[in-house]
Amino acid sequence: MLFPKICACCSCQLADEESTLCEFCKYDRFELTDSCISGTTEEILPEHIEFRMSLWQFDKGGYLQDLMHRLKYEHLYGLGVDFGFELGKVLRRKAGQNGWLFCYQPLLVPVPLHRKKERQRGYNQAFAICEGVSGVTGWAILSERKLYRKRNTRTQTGLAFEERRKNISGVFEIIGVDFLPYEMPIIIDDVYTTGATVMELAQTLRESGAERIGIATLAEA
Ligand SMILES: [Zn+2]
């Protein structure tokens, strides 16, 4: 017996061509961020960060928060890939607007989970998002075997920026990667909060020769 497919967000019945979200939830339910609409953020970024963007504004207590939570803990690989498609479309447009595809070869870098956490959850949601982005853009994904978390850090939730920075300092290790000057790693994650995690990862990538780094997330708090 076949069960009808339902939207992971609003539970309405999906059309044949829809996979995890209905058209309304995908395109109209969530608020796009300024960085997605205009392509820039107000914040001052470190010099080595080429750009930072998020697709949607995080809605505390809302549908998007619930979906992000389930993406992390319910092994919704297909949802991660679908979200990645949407992020990939915006990134591709952005790359064309800013002209950096003429200068750089993007390489997608999913924020790694600690092995233990990845085993518990069954997958890394950032990797699923990368698969979607790659499916749209054709950009390669950095091998998961080359980048990992050395420590299983306690949750960043509830910590102020400075505490988060200390909690995450020195946590990433990259092996056997030397970025060439024209390669631009783009860090991919689900939610951007204070940026402590992605900035720490950017620092690790710099130590392997990356000169310009991009940051793209599904949502920002
Ligand atoms: Zn829906």
For residue 88, the cross-strand partners are: none
CA of 12 to the centre of ligand 1 (A): 6
pLDDT at 35: 81
pLDDT tens, N- to C-terminus, the chain (221 residues): 567 899 999 999 999 888 899 999 999 999 999 888 776 667 788 999 999 999 999 888 899 999 999 999 999 999 999 999 999 999 999 888 888 888 899 999 999 999 999 999 999 999 999 999 999 999 999 998 899 999 888 777 777 878 888 888 999 999 999 999 999 999 999 999 889 999 999 999 999 999 999 999 999 98
Q: So what's the pLDDT on residue 38?
A: 73
Give me the pLDDT at residue 98, please.
Answer: 80
- Sequence spans of domains, the chain: 24-151+160-220
User: pTM of the predicted model, to two decimals?
Assistant: 0.93
In the reported structure, the alpha carbon of residue 201 is separated from the centroid of ligand 1 by a whole-number distance in angstroms of: 34
CATH number among 3.10.20, 2.60.40, 2.50.20, 3.40.50, domain 24-151+160-220: 3.40.50
pLDDT at 152: 86
Rounded-to-integer distance, Cα 45 and Cα 221, Å: 17
Instruction: Provide the strand spans (E) within the chain.
Output: 49-57, 105-110, 140-141, 147-149, 172-174, 183-192, 213-220
Distance from Cα 92 to the centre of ligand 1, integer Å: 25
Q: How far is ligand 1, taken at its centre, from the CA of residue 140, in Å? A: 30
